[in-house]
Structure 1
Amino acid sequence: MSSCCLTGFEWSGTPVGKETKLANNDTYVTGTDKDVAVLLIHDIYGWTFNNTRLLADHFAKEIGATVYAPDFFGGDVIPPDTLSDPEKRAKFDVPAFVMGKNGKAHRWSEIEACAKSLKAELGFKKVGAVGYCYGGWAVFQLGKKSNPLVDAISTAHPSLLTKEEINDVGVPAQILAPEHDPVFVPEMKAYANETIPKLNVAYDYQYFPGVAHGFAIKCNDEGSDLDKKSLERAKNAVVGWFAHHLHIE
Structure 2
Amino acid sequence: MTEADVATKAPESDAQESPIPGDTPAQTGPTMGEHCTTDRPTPAGEAPKGEVRKLGGVDVYIAKPESYPTNPSKLLLLLTGGTGLKSTNNQIQADKFADEGYVVVMPDMFEGDPAPNSTTVPDAETEGTSFLETVKLKAAETAKSFMIDMWLARHTEEKVMPLLEKVFHACEGEFADAVGNGGGIYAVGYCFGGRYILLLASERTPASTGWSGAQKPADEEAGEGQGPTKKGPYIKAGALAHATLVSPDDFEHLQVPVSLACVEHDPMFPDDVREAGEDTMSKTNVEHEVQVYPGVPHGFAVYGDYEDANIKDAQATAHEQMLKWIKEH
Inter-partner Cα distance in structure 1 for 2:111 and 2:316: 31
Report the TM-score when normalising by structure 2.
0.67
User: 3-state SS of the aligned residue for 1:215?
Assistant: coil
Residue by residue over 1:103-124, the C-alpha shift from the partner in whole angstroms, topping out at 9 and shown as x without a partner, is 1111210012212332355311
Inter-partner Cα distance in structure 1 for 2:268 and 2:118: 18
1:3 aligned partner: 33
1:231 is aligned to 2:315? yes
1:77 corresponds to which letter in structure 2? P
2:197 corresponds to which letter in structure 1? V
Inter-partner Cα distance in structure 1 for 2:76 and 2:91: 13
**8 A contact 1:9–1:84 mirrored in 2:** no
Inter-partner Cα distance in structure 2 for 1:8 and 1:71: 16
Given candidates 162, 165, 170, the residue that maps to 1:112 is 165
For the structure 1 residues 137 and 84, does the alpha-carbon distance in structure 2 shift closer, same or farther, using more than 3 Å as the test? closer
**8 A contact 1:112–1:142 mirrored in 2:** no
Report the TM-score when normalising by structure 1.
0.88
1:76 is aligned to 2:160? no
1:167 aligned partner: 252
**8 A contact 1:8–1:215 mirrored in 2:** no
CA RMSD of aligned residues (A): 2.2
1:95 is aligned to 2:149? yes
User: 3-state SS of the aligned residue for 1:38?
Assistant: strand
Tell me by how many angstroms 1:84 deviates: 6.7
User: 3-state SS of the aligned residue for 1:138?
Assistant: helix
2:62 aligned partner: 29
Inter-partner Cα distance in structure 2 for 1:141 and 1:120: 22
Inter-partner Cα distance in structure 1 for 2:41 and 2:274: 27
Tell me by how many angstroms 1:2 deviates: 3.3
Whichever structure has more strand as a proportion of its residues is 1
Paired residues in the alignment total 239
Residue by residue over 1:38-73, the C-alpha shift from the partner in whole angstroms, topping out at 9 and shown as x without a partner, is 1011101011111111111111112x2100111111
User: 3-state SS of the aligned residue for 1:164?
Assistant: helix
2:149 corresponds to which letter in structure 1? P
2:195 aligned partner: 137
Residue by residue over 1:180-216, the C-alpha shift from the partner in whole angstroms, topping out at 9 and shown as x without a partner, is 4111001111111111122223201111011121111
Q: Quick one: percent identity of the two aligned structures?
A: 27
**8 A contact 1:145–1:170 mirrored in 2:** yes
Inter-partner Cα distance in structure 2 for 1:26 and 1:73: 10
1:53 is aligned to 2:91? yes
- Mapping 1:181-192, distance limit 5 Å: 181-192=266-277
**8 A contact 2:39–2:83 mirrored in 1:** no
1:94 corresponds to which letter in structure 2? I
1:216 corresponds to which letter in structure 2? A
Bigger drift between 26-35 and 155-164 goes to: 26-35
Inter-partner Cα distance in structure 2 for 1:22 and 1:152: 22
Given candidates 104, 108, 115, the residue that maps to 1:67 is 104
Unaligned runs of 5+ in 2: 1-30, 122-136, 205-231
**8 A contact 2:32–2:245 mirrored in 1:** no
1:18 corresponds to which letter in structure 2? E
Inter-partner Cα distance in structure 2 for 1:54 and 1:215: 15
